[in-house]
Amino acid sequence: MKCDLFVTIPANPDYPVMNLSHAATVIFYELYRRGADEKVKTMASAEEKEKLFTFFDELLGHIDWPEYKRNRANMTFRRLISRAGPTKWEFHTLAGVIRRACENIERSKNQKKTQ
C-alpha cells in the first residue's frame, strides 16, 4: 500500500462525485487552513516507516512467528502505522524498542546454543 491517508470530502448527495483537480484543491486548502504544514515536518518519513516495517518483520522472524501468518501480521502492522501517522519521535521510540527486542532475543538464542 502506497497511501498514508484516506479522506472523504462531503459532496452534494444528488451529485456525489468530484473532479480530481477540485478534490485536490479542497484537500490542499484544508491542509493549509489547519496548519498541517507544521505537522508534516514532524511526521516520520516514508523511509523511516519502511525501516519500522522491516524491523517488525525481523521481530516476527526472531519470535518464530508462523510463516503462514507472517504476511497478515506485516500487513496489519503496516495499516496500523499508516493510520496512526507517527511522528519522528514516535518512530524512533518504537523502532528502538523493536530493535532492542530483536537484539535481546538473538543474544538469548546464541547463549542457549553455547550451553
The closest alpha carbon to 63, from 114, 98, 112, belongs to: 98
pLDDT > 90: percent of the chain:
51
Reading the block at residue 90, the C-alpha cell is 514516535
* Residue 50 sits in the same domain as residue 100: yes
Mean pLDDT calculated for residue range 81-89: 89
Running DSSP on this structure, what letter comes out for residue 63?
T
The rounded mean pLDDT for the chain is 88
Number of domains within the chain = 2
Going by the DSSP 8-state scheme, the letter that residue 16 receives in this structure is -
Average pLDDT over residues 42-51: 91
Please report which helix (H) or strand (E) contains residue 20, including its range.
helix 20-33
User: 51 and 22 in one domain?
Assistant: no
- Same domain assignment for residues 17 and 56: no
Using a pLDDT cut of 70, give the percent of the chain over it.
Answer: 90
Which residue range is the domain that position 78 belongs to?
46-114
The answer to whether the CB of 28 falls within 8 A of the CB of 9 is no
